[in-house]
Amino acid sequence: MNWVRIRRALPEDTDAVAALDRVCFRTPWARNDFEKEFTENILASYLIAESGGRLIGYAGIWVVSDEGHITNIAVHPDWRDGGIATMLLQELLRIARGKGAARFTLEVRVSNEHALALYGKFGFRTAGYRKAYYADTGEDAAIMWLYDGEGNA
């Protein structure tokens, strides 16, 4: 694998993150949403994965009390299956634990086998489903949870 650096997202990363989000997701967030996450949301922590000065991935989490809610993990298609998402998730969990989080949750498309496998590797377990959660396809979302003391995270 080429050298990859994980760092905190900065407001000046907004355009690149929004562009990557459009490449990675059928229903991307608006640029303004990322800008607010990076500049106004005191609950949010976002990370950037870069190689050779190029943004190749990002991830975000909100920490509310003792709970971390993973908002997004995205890796450019050219860089998938290289451990980037694992690196991002490990660092997200470390940061969130440092802020007092002891349990973690997320929603993921039930058809997203790669993401389900990633989260399963960390010990996340499906606790339920949100029916027709994704407006673009009507697909269900799996609601996953990880509690500290469980799994490999």
CB neighbour class for 13 (10 Å; exposed up to 12, middle 13-18, buried from 19):
buried
d(CA 41, CA 38): 7
Rounded (5°) CA angle 8-10-11: 155
DSSP string, 56-76: EEEEEEEEETTEEEEEEEEE-
Active centre residues (catalytic): 107, 119
Using left for φ > 0, alpha for ψ between -120 and 50, and beta otherwise, residue 110 falls in: alpha
Q: Which two tokens stand for residue 67?
A: 């709970």
